[in-house]
């Protein structure tokens, strides 16, 4: 009997030792994602079934606890037995910081419990979003951490504003690659609540949302736009500027910036306050001293420059006269919001009775004008011709169509002169009844002096001579003349000769 007892004892206990030696712990459940519900603020943890265990009884969700850098990650179980592959943490602290999660798989013998196994690897952590209002710039600065186990696989981020239950407005999409963790919200409505959250997008299509932050925009309303309407020729040959700004803005201080190059260094030439949505400014520099580029900059309530307008610049016209051909060149109007629709060249001939007409419309920056077609010896035009350029904008998105006028340049045309050698005061043809110079273009003025055969001056005038002296016709014969022509440019020419008076 004693032998039998000993055998029975050994038989009953033999399985115990091999079983203890073969204990294996199920691997942690691989997480699908952790995310924050934007409606409730609860954390949702979802995972895949553990692949290595023969039979999983249930799961337990663990929350990471802060640990020193040289110590293993610490966890606390926050769930009882979970028989599905997701869990909702209604006591989430993800509105305070990023929270890490891991999931234990527990088999039917209790293996995998926190007391008899170690969690390996980095936990999946929620995205923690924080927001800071910049009241000076009227913006909200957003910052968030990336989903740690998705690093390198984030396709991008969406930034949403919650408008109501389940109603979200996409305020921004940040792509590609999700390599940024900051964004600045602009053009916000003042004194409005903004409930904002960030959504991370994995390259495989998974999405995880951050906590929701609520921001009340107690700040000044920045302008949504600043438009430099035009720079144009102003009074006293100065540069006149026009600007239009967002009327809903609560900012009323501006800097005016100027440079000699569109991409050059800009200098503040003035600061001023105005509450007008449209206003004019005159820069009292000589219009043709240089091509200047201007920008309007809004100044916030912290006296810091912010948003800037497009550029405005003056157009300087230059040209040359060779013979009867005028060659014109001008610089482009560089930065209208609507772009340049066309340039228009206006030509004006004469001073006493000026004749103006458009001679070119297009987008080129040069034009050649042949004046030969204007020559009419029977009715010559005044020999001074002037030009100006008008640039016209395509109507832009603000409903504004800018126009810019250049400086005006003038040329004195040196006329060809033909002087007859005889005339018939009593002829039936009017053209033959007087003596005087015939011009292709009229000079500014001329003086004609007539002398008799003895060299005595008998007539002087600034028009053609009709052959009379003191109301009476002179005798037939040869008379001498002296002609002085004064040009519009300030120069003069003199001619001497003789003319024969004949009668019928």
Which pLDDT score, from 0 to 100, does residue 152 have?
86
Q: 3: part of which helix (H) or strand (E)?
A: helix 2-13
Give the Cα separation of 350 and 371 in Å (integer): 13
Q: What is the CATH number of domain 417-501?
A: 2.60.40.1220
pLDDT band at 12 (very low <50, low <70, confident <90, very high): very low
Percent of residues, the chain, with pLDDT higher than 90: 69
Question: What average pLDDT does range 263-270 have in this prediction?
Answer: 96
**Residue burial 272-310, b: 16+ Cβ < 10 Å; e: rest:** eeeeeeebebebeeebbeebbbbbbbbbbeeeeebbebb
**Architecture of the 317-412 domain:** Sandwich (2.60)
CATH 2.60.40.1220 in the chain, residue ranges: 417-501
Residue 352 DSSP label = S
CATH class entry, domain 25-125: mainly beta
* Torsion over CA: 417, 422, 425, 431 (sign): negative
Give the Cα separation of 336 and 340 in Å (integer): 7
**pLDDT tens digit string along 290-344?**
999 999 999 987 888 889 999 999 999 999 999 999 999 999 999 999 999 999 9
**Is it the case that residue 20 has pLDDT exceeding 60?**
no
Give the Cα separation of 239 and 139 in Å (integer): 34
Mean pLDDT of the chain: 89
pLDDT band at 124 (very low <50, low <70, confident <90, very high): very high
Return the CATH number of 226-306, one of 1.10.3720.10, 2.60.40.10, 1.10.10.10, 3.40.50.720.
Answer: 2.60.40.10
Q: What is the CATH number of domain 129-216?
A: 2.60.40.10
Question: What average pLDDT does range 100-127 have in this prediction?
Answer: 76
**pLDDT tens digit string along 421-455?**
999 999 999 889 999 999 999 988 899 999 998 99
CATH 2.60.40.10 in the chain, residue ranges: 25-125, 129-216, 226-306, 317-412
**Is it the case that residue 65 has pLDDT exceeding 50?**
yes
Which pLDDT score, from 0 to 100, does residue 67 have?
67
CA 148, 151, 155: angle at the middle one, nearest 5?
Answer: 125
Percent of residues, the chain, with pLDDT higher than 70: 91
Instruction: Output phi, psi for 431, to 5 deg.
Output: -65, -25
Which pLDDT score, from 0 to 100, does residue 23 have?
61
Which pLDDT score, from 0 to 100, does residue 21 have?
46
């Amino acid at each position: 009997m004693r032998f039998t007892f000993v055998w029975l004892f050994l038989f009953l206990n033999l399985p115990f030792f091999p079983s203890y030696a073969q204990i294996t712990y199920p691997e942690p459940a691989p997480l699908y994602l952790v995310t924050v519900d934007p409606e409730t603020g609860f954390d949702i943890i979802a995972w895949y079934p553990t692949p290595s265990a023969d039979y999983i009884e249930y799961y337990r969700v663990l929350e990471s606890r802060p640990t020193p850098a040289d110590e293993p990650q610490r966890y606390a179980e926050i769930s009882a037995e979970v028989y599905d592959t997701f869990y909702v943490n209604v006591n989430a602290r993800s509105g305070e910081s990023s929270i890490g999660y891991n999931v234990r798989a527990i088999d039917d013998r209790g293996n995998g419990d926190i007391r008899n196994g170690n969690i390996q690897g980095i936990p999946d952590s929620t995205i923690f979003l924080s927001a800071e209002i910049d009241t000076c710039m009227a913006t909200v600065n957003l910052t968030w951490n990336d989903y740690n186990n998705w690093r390198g696989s984030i396709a991008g981020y969406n930034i949403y504003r919650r408008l109501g239950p389940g109603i979200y407005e996409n305020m921004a999409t940040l792509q590609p690659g999700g390599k940024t963790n900051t964004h600045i919200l602009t053009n916000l409505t003042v004194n409005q609540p903004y409930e904002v959250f960030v959504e991370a997008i994995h390259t495989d299509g998974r999405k995880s949302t951050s906590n929701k932050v609520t921001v009340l925009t107690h700040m000044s309303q920045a302008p949504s736009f600043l438009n430099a309407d035009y720079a144009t020729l102003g009074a006293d040959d100065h540069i006149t500027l026009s600007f239009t700004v967002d009327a809903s803005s609560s900012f009323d201080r501006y800097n005016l910036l100027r440079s000699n190059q569109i991409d050059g260094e800009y200098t503040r030439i003035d600061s001023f306050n105005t509450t007008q949505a449209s206003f004019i400014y005159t820069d009292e520099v000589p219009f043709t001293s240089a091509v200047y580029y201007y920008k309007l900059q809004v100044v916030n309530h912290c006296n810091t420059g912010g948003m800037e307008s497009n550029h405005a610049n003056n157009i300087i016209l230059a040209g040359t006269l060779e013979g009867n051909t005028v060659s014109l060149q001008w610089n482009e109007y560089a930065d209208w919001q609507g772009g340049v629709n066309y340039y228009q060249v206006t030509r004006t001939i004469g001073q006493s009775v000026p004749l103006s007409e458009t001679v070119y419309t297009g987008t080129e920056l040069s034009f050649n004008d042949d004046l030969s077609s204007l020559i009419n010896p029977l009715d010559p035009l005044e020999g001074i011709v002037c030009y100006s350029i008008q640039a016209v904008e395509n109507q832009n998105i603000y409903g504004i169509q800018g126009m810019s006028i250049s400086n005006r340049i003038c040329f004195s045309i040196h006329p060809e002169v033909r002087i007859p050698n005889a005339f018939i005061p009593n002829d039936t043809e009017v053209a033959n009844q007087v003596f005087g110079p015939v011009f292709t273009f009229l000079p500014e003025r001329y003086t004609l002096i007539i002398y008799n055969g003895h060299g005595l001056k008998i007539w002087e005038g600034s028009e053609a001579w009709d052959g009379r002296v003191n109301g009476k016709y002179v005798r037939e014969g040869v008379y001498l003349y002296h002609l002085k022509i004064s040009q519009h440019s300030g120069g003069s020419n003199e001619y001497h000769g003789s003319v024969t008076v004949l009668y019928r």
